[in-house]
Structure formats: C-alpha cells, structure tokens
C-alpha cells in the first residue's frame, strides 16, 4: 500500500484511532493489507473481519506476532498494536481501497482494467497481466480475488509506481459488481460472456446479463468497453457503453470483431489461430489447452491494445503462458496417461468447452476419460443442465465417463439414458473410491479430464491422479 499516516487512515475510514506504544497520529504505515493473520509481514495492516465460522478479532495477537503494525477493528481488542475502530470492517476495506487507488491515479499514470463474465475471468486476468507486466508495474489478483474482500485487497496492493491495475469482478448478486467496480471506475471494462454460472442465484440468465452489464455502467467516462461479439447478450451492452460515452472494442470470431480469431486448430500442445486486427494478420499459438481460451486471449489482446500495447507484442507474451491457473485446464500426469485438471470451477458452458477440448486433443489409439462432478448454483435449471452435459459427453464419444458424487447422479442417469452403460459409465459416490477405481482403470494412451464445481472438490482428485502418473 502507499504510505499514509495513522491519522490519514483514520480519516479515510471515519474511524476512531487508538494508539499503542510509541505510535503517534503521524506514524506512517505502508505495508500490505490483509484479513488473514497468517499473511502478515513487517509493517502490515490487519483487517479484523468477522466471518461465518470465526472472528478476525480473535487473531489480532497472531497478526501482531507476524508483523502487523495496525489493526482495523470493529471494537477495541486487548493487543499491543494501534487500532482504528470502524462500524464495518469490510466496508472500511472498500473505503481504504477507493481512497488509495484514487490518490495513485491522481498523482501518476495508473490505468485500471476491470474484467467480468460468467467464465474466463481468472484466465483473462492472468493473460492480460502477463502482457502488461512488460510495460510497467502491474497489480493483478492472486487466484480468484474477485469478491467484496478479495477485490479491495488487490486494489490495496498498488503503489505510487504502479502503472496498471487489473481487477476481476465476480457477481454475488445484483448490484455487487457496481459496488466493487465503482470503487475504482475502470478505464477499460471487459465483459467476457454471459452464461448459466450462478444463474440460480440471479433468477435466470437475463438477470445474470444485467448484473454483468454493471461493469460497463460504472466505467470511467472517456474509457472503453471491450465486449464479446460472439455473445449476443454481451454485444448488446454496446448500447450502454454508447450512453456512457465509452469507446467500444469488439473481440471474437465474428467478422464484426475489431480483434478476431480465424482458422482455429486445437491439439494436445495447445491451440493455434490467426489473429486479425485491422490489416494485421498474425499467428498465435497458445500453450493453454482449449479453443475457449482463444476468446480469453482475444479479450486480453483487445484490452491491451486500448492501453497502447501493439497486438504483436501481446501475442508474443501470451505465447509464453503455459498454464492459465492452477486447476484450470492444468496438464498433469505423463506422456502415457495425461490428466487435465480443470476442477476449480464448472458451469454448463465451461463443462461443455472442457469436454470438447478432451475430444479434440485425443488422437488415434488414445482413449477419452471424463471424470465429472456436479455443477453448483444453477437453481431450477440444475437438472436440465446436468442432463445436457451427460448427453454431450456421449455424443462426443467420450469412451469412459466416471461420475463422482451423489449431487451428480442426474448427469450419470442422462449418460446411461443416452446409451452409455456397463463399463463405459460408472457412478461413484466418493473421491477415495473414485481414485481407487481410476487407479485400476486408467492405462497407457488415456487422456483424462477432471471437471466439477469448486465446492465438489474434484480438483484434489485431479491432483492425486496427476501425482500417481507423474
């Protein structure tokens, strides 16, 4: 974080400053900010956030032991550290992030990119950060820090020399993206796609589209909206962008896209395509598995171009990216048994894309194996969407389908109903049993996809299989 005095922090938060030791209102703090006492280092600021299962106030002493020099609390704690008492620690985190980013932006050349979408946020964020880091100091979220805590924590990592802030915004409900993105008003708003992910919590896909459009509505005047021309709901947001006076940049495979991909070829070594931008036609070879990641690359290239990065430079940097993120189309195993661990999250769109990738990268004499768990947060559409995935798996001729968990039984029944039975499809209730089954079932030449929602936890099964065949 930038350097601020204790008095300045208290003023920003509207909190009551309680000094400890030799501290005075003019004592300066400039360390990292976090809600996890284990992440403290010398000079850190600890935000004591009440949680569902525990309370951050119980860990103030631990934070101090790890180096914290200031605690933001909702009530005074008996600990040897200066404290600022606020009414709401999570709101204080947001207020501090807004103020810090505004000061850096006003004083320098900070440009801010906001990214949202039902799928692909983290991959696109990582790709864009890779492009921008060669241009100047870049701050981007670790993992999927995109909620009311993670997004502000990322924002608070900016320094006086930060040139680019890449923020990822997830939607917890209507208005949540507007609140989070409104803290910084991005110069560039990137909307990737509108899908069924979390649709159960929003009341349907149209409500999801409205929630994603909030990013465009809070973008900074004079900025740009980078929109997916291949998704009608996203492309329709260009009207909102025009109302905001934003420049619209389209990406996709559509002929109307400003940055588009042609001639896609998917293989086990990645995806090749031709990137078209104006009169430029440039080859791109992504090492990241899956044709769907080309769309994420197009979004990153488009956002970078708005910031002045030549498309050729963006492509060269993207070609160095080997893995989008842990547990996202992550290659594991060995040349004989290849594991693709894509079980960090799952929606109908990402599940379908992963299954198609599995089919595309499996060559003659090799066998496709899909290890599938449930997709969460689909609401009333859950049954139908699991049916569709089961049908797709069979129609793609996935040769072994291993469905794990009671929540995914509907998917298994759809597979059987489509004509895949006997040893072609099995339903196993727990991960340990699934691991033992796969240990005996997998053989040389198998290409194995592990895919489920994060809450199901199949990513750990994927890790075990990767270690088994490493």
HSE of 256 in the Cβ direction (CA atoms, 13 Å)?
10
Domain co-membership, 120 together with 238: yes
Categorise residue 457: left if φ over 0, alpha if ψ from -120 to 50, beta otherwise. left
CATH number for the domain spanning 248: value is: 3.40.1190.10
Strand ranges inside 107-203, DSSP E: 111-116, 138-139, 164-168, 188-191
Question: Is residue 287, in this structure, part of any structural domain at all?
Answer: yes
In angstroms, rounded to a whole number, what is the distance separating the alpha carbons of residues 122 and 151? 12
Q: What is the pLDDT of residues 222-238, one digit of tens each?
A: 999 999 999 999 999 99
Arithmetic mean of pLDDT, 325-353: 91
Domain co-membership, 304 together with 347: no
Domain co-membership, 178 together with 231: yes
Domain co-membership, 101 together with 227: yes
Domain co-membership, 117 together with 243: yes
Residue 143 has pLDDT above 90, yes or no: no
Which of 105-119, 131-145, 273-287, 318-332 is predicted with the least confidence, judged by mean pLDDT? 318-332
Question: Is residue 43, in this structure, part of any structural domain at all?
Answer: yes
Question: Is residue 206, in this structure, part of any structural domain at all?
Answer: yes
Which of 59, 87, 115 terminates a domain? The answer is 87
Question: Is residue 400, in this structure, part of any structural domain at all?
Answer: yes
How sure is the predictor about 202, in pLDDT bands with cuts at 50, 70 and 90? low
Question: Is residue 324, in this structure, part of any structural domain at all?
Answer: no
* DSSP assignment of 427-452: EESSHHHHHHHHHHH--TTEEEEEE-
Arithmetic mean of pLDDT, 47-76: 95
Helix (H, G, I), strand (E, B) or coil at 193: coil
Arithmetic mean of pLDDT, 342-358: 93
Arithmetic mean of pLDDT, 246-254: 97
CATH number for the domain spanning 400: value is: 3.90.190.20
In angstroms, rounded to a whole number, what is the distance separating the alpha carbons of residues 334 and 332? 7
Which of 62, 87, 112 terminates a domain? The answer is 87
What kind and span of H or E run contains 331? strand 330-333
Question: Is residue 323, in this structure, part of any structural domain at all?
Answer: no
73 with 89: CB under 8 angstroms?
yes
Domain co-membership, 125 together with 147: yes
In angstroms, rounded to a whole number, what is the distance separating the alpha carbons of residues 3 and 89? 20
Question: Is residue 325, in this structure, part of any structural domain at all?
Answer: no
Question: Is residue 390, in this structure, part of any structural domain at all?
Answer: yes
Which of 87, 120, 149 terminates a domain? The answer is 87
CATH number for the domain spanning 22: value is: 3.40.1390.10
Give the C-alpha distances (Å, rounded to integers) separating 373 from 2, 248, 395, 457: 44, 38, 18, 9
Determine the pLDDT at residue 280: 95
Domain co-membership, 300 together with 352: no
Phi, psi dihedral angles at 83 (to 5 degrees): -135, 145
Question: How is residue 370 written in tokens?
Answer: 């899909």
Phi, psi dihedral angles at 213 (to 5 degrees): -70, -15
How sure is the predictor about 269, in pLDDT bands with cuts at 50, 70 and 90? confident
How sure is the predictor about 421, in pLDDT bands with cuts at 50, 70 and 90? low
Residue 352 has pLDDT above 90, yes or no: yes
Q: Which domain holds residue 337?
A: 330-468
Domain co-membership, 302 together with 195: yes
Domain co-membership, 238 together with 296: yes
Residue 201 has pLDDT above 60, yes or no: no
- Mean pLDDT estimate for the chain: 94
Nearest of 261, 285, 461, 451 to residue 355 by alpha carbon: 451
Residue at token pair 């993207």: 318
Domain co-membership, 167 together with 80: no
Q: What is the pLDDT of residues 165-191, one digit of tens each?
A: 999 998 888 899 999 999 999 999 999
Domain co-membership, 57 together with 83: yes
Task: Please state the separation of Cα 276 from the chain's center in Å.
Answer: 26
Give me the number of domains the chain comprises: 3
Domain co-membership, 102 together with 148: yes
* DSSP assignment of 347-371: -HHHHHHHHHHHHHH--TT-EEEEE
% of the chain at pLDDT higher than 70: 98
Determine the pLDDT at residue 419: 78
């Amino acid at each position: 974080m930038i350097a601020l005095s204790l008095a300045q922090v208290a003023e920003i938060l509207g909190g009551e400053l309680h000094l400890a030791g030799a501290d005075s209102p003019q004592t300066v703090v400039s360390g990292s900010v976090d809600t996890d006492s284990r992440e403290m280092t010398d000079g850190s600021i600890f935000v004591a956030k009440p949680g569902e299962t525990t309370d951050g106030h119980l860990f103030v002493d631990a934070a101090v032991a790890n180096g914290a020099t200031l605690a933001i609390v909702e009530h005074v704690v008996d600990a040897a550290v200066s404290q600022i008492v606020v009414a709401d620690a999570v709101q204080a985190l947001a207020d501090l992030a807004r103020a810090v980013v505004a000061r850096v932006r006003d004083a320098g050349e900070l440009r801010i990119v906001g990214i949202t979408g039902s799928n692909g946020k983290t991959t696109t964020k990582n790709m864009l950060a890779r492009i921008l880091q060669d241009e100047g100091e870049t701050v981007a979220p670790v993992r999927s820090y995109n909620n009311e805590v993670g997004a502000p924590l990322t924002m608070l990592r900016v320094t006086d020399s930060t040139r680019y802030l890449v923020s990822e915004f997830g939607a917890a409900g209507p208005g949540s993206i507007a609140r989070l993105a409104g803290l910084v008003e991005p110069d560039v708003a990137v909307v990737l796609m509108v899908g069924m992910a979390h649709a159960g919590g929003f009341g349907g896909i149209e409500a999801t589209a409205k929630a994603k459009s909030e990013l465009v509505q809070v973008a900074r005047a004079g900025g740009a909206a980078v929109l997916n021309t291949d998704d009608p709901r996203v492309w329709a947001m260009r009207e909102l962008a025009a109302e905001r006076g934003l420049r619209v940049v389209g990406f996709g495979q559509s002929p109307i896209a400003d940055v588009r991909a042609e001639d896609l070829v998917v293989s086990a070594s990645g995806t090749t395509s031709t990137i078209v931008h104006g009169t430029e036609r440039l080859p791109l070879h992504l090492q990241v598995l899956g044709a769907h990641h080309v769309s994420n690359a197009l979004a990153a290239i488009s956002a970078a171009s708005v910031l002045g990065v030549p498309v050729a430079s963006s492509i060269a940097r993207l070609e160095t990216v080997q893995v989008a993120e842990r547990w996202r189309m992550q290659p594991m195993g060995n040349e004989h048994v290849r594991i693709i661990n894509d079980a960090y999250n799952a929606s109908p769109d990402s599940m379908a894309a992963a299954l198609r990738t599995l089919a595309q990268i499996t060559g003659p004499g090799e066998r496709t194996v899909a290890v599938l768990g449930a997709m969460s947060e689909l609401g009333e559409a859950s049954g139908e969407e699991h049916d569709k995935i089961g049908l797709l798996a069979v129609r793609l001729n996935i040769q072994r389908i291993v469905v794990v968990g009671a929540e995914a039984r509907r998917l298994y029944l759809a597979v059987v109903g489509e004509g895949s039975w006997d040893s072609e499809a099995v339903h196993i209730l727990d991960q340990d049993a699934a691991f033992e089954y796969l240990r005996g079932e997998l053989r040389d030449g198998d290409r194995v996809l592990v895919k489920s929602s994060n809450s199901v936890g199949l990513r750990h099964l994927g890790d075990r299989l990767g270690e088994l065949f490493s």
